[in-house]
Structure 1
């Protein structure tokens, strides 16, 4: 077993994954799950984390064994695979990143009472700050800072969860009636929760790219060590999801509180309700934790989408050499900043529709991306001794079937 020092040295891609995953899927969806449906929501949260695990694990496995990104593996399977993934990334790049910055800016305005500020101005400030941090700090700064953020966030949520449990669940309203789960509204909520828990499947390539970047500055760990590092991040992600769910359950479930369907308003509502049940002394503590959650998600998503975009373009246009220059990453970060700020400024009123489009694409293609990842790690690119074992393959097929059924049902509801 690797020593603690070795484990600490290898921490990086898994921690970045945890930071990226705990944005709206945890702060908003996990909390809302507990608030609306109570303790039963621990079942779909755990189920989603277990069934999606192989798809993300394959990103680490493939890259460690082949020294290639998962996206290069798609090209090896056929150019159609790469184009398919490129289209998914294109939709995500110009919708989800803008939505993340919008939610983070709105949350900042609400939490720190600067209502006179326009959301576009705050979003622009966030874009500039995060772009500067990524351009000048690059991967090393991202990794070091997020190790700190995740540690603080984990402690903050652990303390908050313990305080909430010690205080006990709130009293139910006299006229409280549990919401049905298996009606159209409940099923749609489950689809959203499971689809974004811990995050969308196409983000599996992000871990692959972070691994390649980390190994530029240190000796590549063994496959066992890489998987151990990723598992630490993945387990942290799952535990934090449960923490948020428990907090929502203990502070809101049964109170008949009207929960906002707007992510910004709901996040602010959650922070203020937490404060009511824990104490006003905790407001700043909780508010900073909530903002740090979204800020770290923006930073990791911005970095990852720049790397993914550059990787895709370099594979589709191999004769173009500028994609591998030192300035390529900077250019990618700045282009994403410009385009997504324009999206926010021009389409902020219709941001919900843009996110709905990205959600639709992500959910419908999730089982296909999962299958593509399985094809990569069971291909001739890897020696068969490094292929996933029978148990992991079985879990993969169960996950593909599960996501396919949800995708078909979601497609049916949205289209028909």
Structure 2
């Protein structure tokens, strides 16, 4: 479809992909990893959260920048860039998507049981949650996902902010500052730092999701998204994800740090521990607020991920056209197949690994971080190369900042690999 580039549209009408990014981001990285970081190490790892958000910013921003500048998504760009970037991305995606889908779903399932108390197993809840997500995506398609995520992210931000303000009101800050943090520069601590950075605020391959959502939004508006609109939309979503990540980190510091509680490896028990700790500190009246905020966080992630991976695979298949049906029909057919296939295989993983979900999450987040430099470099090459118009490319200062961020990602990868083999 040819998209108009000169039609004026309210900048707020173009908002959507940024909220989807925020919804995908605000999940395991925030609820589990950020809360664990604060609970186990106090304020000691605040710099890790900030560094992760800063160093990933340019490479995630390159996704919507590329989509706005070229009208295509990053997958098309990778293919034009060469076989190595294209197939590396496919291997990273296929190698991680089932584990990521399983990880976010099992946490959502644990919180659902804690919130609704139906007495169902994590696997049963996972099956139900995935079914709801699939139904919403197949019936409402992209517009339903867009509108739902705007509501979810807004409610989540308010609920989490309320919980943090209440925690500060209880005078917990002085207590958190008075407790000495444990040693972090050891094998276990470095491994946690890497897993924390892996999904904070979101894996770098989400830049591909964002580029697809930006293009999908443009198709819905029947006009090309301008660079200004894409930049504004991205910043709204990314800032929301970063701030809410900080809020969950503060919740861990203020309420859990120094409590002496060891987190369970079981999804339902972990969720119960999380909510009960808030209740013991702030009062039982706080439990509903925390439970709702946590469940919304994870459901938004599960919904976004359930959409993202089938959409990515359908775009990959579209890069290899076959005779017969139109491109739109082929994409929709592939999407419908994969929206059942990926969650289905993820449920099989959950059937065997439900009792050790923290191990599953640490593995998935570390895998995402190890692949980050590759995605970062591919995105940098795309937005600074010939595929982008000169006026849409990053400035010289921004390019230097991007390369410094890439260097930091590489250094952390080398440190992590060294700790694994030493």
Give the structure-1-normalised TM-score.
0.92
Aligned mate of 1:155, from 150, 158, 161: 158
The equivalent residue for 2:224 is 220
Bigger drift between 393-402 and 295-304 goes to 393-402
Which residue matches 1:409? 415
Task: Output aligned runs, 1:103-142, within 5 Å.
Answer: 103-115=107-119, 117-142=120-145
Q: Tell me how far 1:276 sits from its aligned partner.
A: 2.1
| Structure 2: distance between partners of 1:314 and 1:288 | 39
The residue number in structure 1 matching 2:170 is 167
Match of 2:278 in 1: 274
Cα distance in 1 for residues equivalent to 2:365 and 2:197: 12
Rounded to whole Å, the distance in 1 between the matches of 2:262 and 2:167 is 20
Quick one: structure 1 residues 334 and 393, their matched pair in 2 at CA, closer, same or farther if it must change by over 3 Å?
same
Q: Which moved more, 1:246-255 or 1:146-155?
A: 246-255
Which of 248, 251, 273 lines up with 2:252 in the alignment? Answer: 248
**Bigger shift: residues 277-286 or 253-262:** 253-262
Match of 1:341 in 2: 347
- In structure 2, C-alpha distance between the alignment counterparts of 1:286 and 1:357, rounded to whole Å: 27
TM superposition shift of 1:364:
1.7
What runs of 5+ residues in structure 1 fail to find an aligned partner? none
Say if 2:13 is the partner of 1:9.
yes
Q: Does the aligned pair in 2 maintain the 1:91–1:358 contact within 8 Å?
A: no
Please give the per-residue CA displacement for 1:238-286, whole angstroms capped at 9, x wherever unaligned: 1101111111111122333333355653343222211222221222222
1:16–1:300 Cα contact (<8 Å) kept: yes
- In structure 2, the partner of 1:233 is 237
Alpha-carbon distance between aligned partners in 1 of 2:257 and 2:364, rounded to the nearest angstrom: 30
1:351, distance to aligned residue in structure 2 (A): 5.8
Per-residue Cα deviation, 1:14-53 (whole angstroms, up to 9, x for no partner): 0100010010100111112122222233221111101110
Shift of 1:118: 2.5
Q: Is the 8 A contact 1:82 1:312 kept in 2?
A: no
- Provide the C-alpha distance between the structure 1 equivalents of 2:239 and 2:358, rounded to a whole number of angstroms: 31
Q: Is this contact kept in 2: 1:95–1:358, CA < 8 A?
A: yes
Matched-pair contact (CA < 8 Å) for 1:170–1:251: no
Question: How far did 1:356 drift?
Answer: 5.2
| Match status 1:363 vs 2:373 | no
Name the count of aligned residue pairs. Answer: 409
Query: Given the alignment, which residue of 202, 205, 212 partners 1:202?
Result: 205
> Deviations for 1:52-81, whole angstroms, at most 9, x for unmatched residues?
100000001111010010111000001221
- Report the 3-state secondary structure (helix = DSSP H, G, I; strand = E; otherwise coil) of the residue aligned with 1:94: helix
- List alignment gaps of at least 5 residues for structure 2: 1-8
1:345 to 1:321, Cα distance in 2 relative to 1, 3 A: farther
What is the alpha-carbon distance in structure 2 between the residues aligned to residue 403 and residue 97 of structure 1?
24
Matched, 1:71 2:75: yes
Aligned to 2:269: 265
SS of corresponding position for 1:52: helix
> What is the aligned partner in structure 2 of residue 372 from structure 1?
378
SS at match of 1:269: helix
Equivalent runs, 1:287-326 vs 2, <5 Å = 287-315=291-319, 317-319=320-322, 324-325=328-329, 326=332
Q: Is the contact made by 2:104 and 2:302 (CA closer than 8 Å) also made in structure 1? A: yes
* C-alpha deviation, 1:345, in angstroms: 2.7
Match of 2:184 among 181, 200, 204: 181
Give 1:212 shift: 0.9
| CA offsets 1:130-169 (integer angstroms, 9 cap, x no match) | 1000100111001101111111111111111111111111
Contact 1:170 1:255 in 2 (8 A): no
Q: How has the CA–CA distance of structure 1 residues 181 and 346 changed in structure 2, closer, same or farther, with 3 Å as cutoff?
A: closer
Q: Report SS of the residue matched to 1:10.
A: coil
Residue 353 (structure 1) shift: 6.0
1:85 equivalent among 84, 89, 106? 89
Partner of 1:43: 47
TM-score for both structures, normalised by structure 2: 0.91
